[in-house]
Structure 1
Amino acid sequence: MRTTSVGVFKIATKGPGDVSGLMSLIGSGAVDPDSILAILGKTEGNGGVNDFTREYAVAALCTALAPKLSLTPHAVEQRIAFVMSGGTEGVLSPHITVFTRQEIQQRPAGLSGKRLSIGMAQTRDFLPEELGRSAQITETAEAVKGAMADAGITDTADVHFVQIKCPLLTSERVEAAAARGSKTATTSAYSSMAYSRGASALGVAVALGEIAPDIRDEDVLRRYDLFSKVASTSSGIELMHNVVIVLGNSEGSASEFEIGHAVMSDAIDAPAVISALTSVGLGVAPQVAANRELVNIFAKAEASPDGAVRGFRHTMLEDTDISATRHARAAVGGLIAGLAGTGAVYVSGGAEHQGPAGGGPVAVIARLSG
């Protein structure tokens, strides 16, 4: 088994094009650009189809990293997994989390237990008519298994968070399918985000054995009893394939970090957030406890599709001024920020088949400083 050292760096941003924090860490030698495997970010866009802050952030990072890696910006985007989640409503604060990975000769003497490991894979490009359907589920499941192998994780119980960037439909993509005599799952670009997120999450669930593999097209966005407890999927206009990032713990990692998770049953499930914090030896704020320091929290948020939270009606699905995903991000982001003691947390909207309906997974990464 190979031994890797994984690094995690959370960097505040002044805007979607701000790369100064990362460039400063590279300049000081704290981050080796050659070791960057993935960058997850929160940008202050609307999180919808026309949220160009995501693409802007990726373009800025690729342009800044290109000379450091002696690559073109396009080649940088092919080499590093970029997942930008739009929407920093409420107290959520824009930031990026940079994951690095390097192979080392052997695990340091005295280092015990499983430590944070990361792996990456991607699917082939999808046809527009495959989004939200069994083809996306099957291909995603295979990519998750590939990312697990890349992370050196053999036990599915050691997988604590699977982040996926997936495509969405545009009018041009819908028309291209129609020209071939094919029909897409939906003709709405906004609705296609949910279909793509949901199918991708079901692919994670199949790969990890959380559900049986016999999923039908009509189960997507209907069978909400089928879900993954660790999937986090985010749709974007900038790609036609799925990028899969698996985060877990492995004996083959010499990282100073550890990851754990829990599952929120609804948008106000504070005990689940506390459980995720305690799973890595942390408690409610302050952020440092028992030689462990909070690095970041990653969570999904969704307006409960039945229109109620613990028996009381909510109006998130009926607001024509603000989308339900923005309401949900603000609500869950405020809850997690209060318990974590920081608004710089990664909360992504749209949790279809990602945790139980109206809830979602929450993962915590801690630095073991002792």
Structure 2
Amino acid sequence: MRVGVHKVLMNSPADVAGLERLIEAGEVAPAEIVAVIGKTEGNGGANDFTRALATLSFALALARHLGITPDAVAKRIAFVWSGGTEGVLSPHATVFTRSAAPAAASKRLAIGIAATRDLAPEEVGTMVEVRLVAEAVRRAQAEAGIADAADVHYVQVKGPLLTPAAVADADSRGARLVTRDPNGSKPYARGATALGVALALGEVAEAALGDEAIARRMDLYSSVANTSAGGELSKCEVLLFGNAEGAGGDLRIGHAVLRDVVDAEGVRAAAASAAGEPGELREPGAAIDPAGIAAIFAKAEAPPDGRLRGRRTTMLSDADIHYERHARAALGAVIASVTGDGAIFVSGGTEHQCKPGEAPIAAIVRV
């Protein structure tokens, strides 16, 4: 099995021209598309409807090629969108395909996809969500053919947050919620899904977990989870990436930990991890060939105390711009300065995704 990675730029959340060009050129077969991960130019909040628009637009386009309904496309293909393209971040989509291919001589990129059942509003941000995600991660790892959890380098999970409609539904049934604030539910939703990844991969023990730990016990975390929450979903979709024996193609994936939003060496370390050459690319100031990088996925976080390497920032005190938008813009510029490409996936909010102040980064490279 060979995984293909195809990046298309977007002029709006409804722009599918790039995808259509790949299909017309024969570079992408619609029947082989299994997932799409992208960035849209919304605000990234609970009322960011650019994500749903992008899913609808891609589903409509692919429905024509596949001869099925848009709803069937959305069930067949995993769509994960992150809103917010502040600074130099460029709206884009990364299209993943799977096709038959002979095995390579060494481990190559593999992908596994799974989804939970629909979650009730009162289950969002709770241990119910943690366990459901853990089960889905295990299924995705098995589907990818990855035997060793150490070969898993990136697990993208997109799940639901609490919309006003979800809050009203819970109220009508007398159900207890983790919070009544839609935007305030994001840390719980992202945190629960990240802990689900950590539980499945053995990064935390279930005995250490509980509802009271979610979005509070930040000493519990995954180093490879990248989680998001949106109002357009009712279930959690899991996309697991790693390197597997028997996989074909010329792509590998690796990961690293960013110690802050200006950690350029962390970007190089992720690329080095994927290339399997830890010494060469970790040299200070070493260049990275942009042509060799197929995609980068990262999380951005503000410093826990607002101070970045001893200097005060206003990320956490700015009443006009949410800290996630500050962090995405800063990290996007740093990654683009290293790779020369602003079409990178950077999302905000790192609850239970690395230690506080740190963030995960994964790179897919050609080898």
Shift of 1:194: 1.6
Alignment of 1:9-158 (within 5 A): 9-104=6-101, 106-107=102-103, 111-158=104-151
Alignment of 1:244-323 (within 5 A): 244-281=238-275, 283=281, 284-287=286-289, 293-323=292-322
**Structure 1 vs Structure 2 CA RMSD:** 1.4
- Aligned residue for 2:351, secondary structure, equals coil
- How far, CA to CA, are the matches of 1:115 and 1:209 in structure 2? 23
Contact 1:205 1:228 in 2 (8 A): yes
What's 1:338 paired with? 337
Shift of 1:103: 3.2
- How far, CA to CA, are the matches of 1:246 and 1:286 in structure 2? 25
After superposition, give the CA deviation of every residue in 1:26-64 in whole Å (9 maximum; x if it has no partner).
Answer: 111110100000000111111111111111111110000
- How far, CA to CA, are the matches of 1:217 and 1:164 in structure 2? 19
Alignment of 1:351-362 (within 5 A): 351-362=350-361
Shift of 1:285: 4.2
- How far, CA to CA, are the matches of 2:287 and 2:59 in structure 1? 35
Contact 1:266 1:357 in 2 (8 A): no
- How far, CA to CA, are the matches of 2:267 and 2:26 in structure 1? 34
- How far, CA to CA, are the matches of 1:269 and 1:211 in structure 2? 26
- How far, CA to CA, are the matches of 1:210 and 1:286 in structure 2? 30
What's 1:365 paired with? 364
Identity of aligned residues (%): 52
Shift of 1:190: 0.2
Ranges in structure 1 where 5+ consecutive residues have no aligned partner: none
What's 1:162 paired with? 155
- Aligned residue for 2:355, secondary structure, equals coil
TM-score when normalising by structure 1: 0.94
What's 2:327 paired with? 328
Contact 1:117 1:255 in 2 (8 A): no
Contact 2:251 2:365 in 1 (8 A): yes
Contact 1:228 1:353 in 2 (8 A): yes
Shift of 1:286: 4.9
- How far, CA to CA, are the matches of 2:169 and 2:12 in structure 1? 35
- How far, CA to CA, are the matches of 2:340 and 2:287 in structure 1? 5
- Aligned residue for 2:274, secondary structure, equals coil
What's 2:3 paired with? 6
Code of the residue aligned with 2:266 in structure 1: it is: A
Code of the residue aligned with 1:76 in structure 2: it is: V
Shift of 1:311: 3.6
Q: How many residues align?
A: 358
Shift of 1:302: 1.4
- Aligned residue for 1:119, secondary structure, equals strand
User: Which stretches of structure 1, 4 residues or longer, exceed 6 Å deviation after superposition?
Assistant: none
Shift of 1:268: 2.1
What's 2:181 paired with? 188
- How far, CA to CA, are the matches of 2:134 and 2:190 in structure 1? 13
Contact 1:132 1:195 in 2 (8 A): yes
Shift of 1:256: 1.5
Contact 2:268 2:288 in 1 (8 A): no
**Alignment partner for residue 165 of structure 2, among 165, 172, 175?**
172
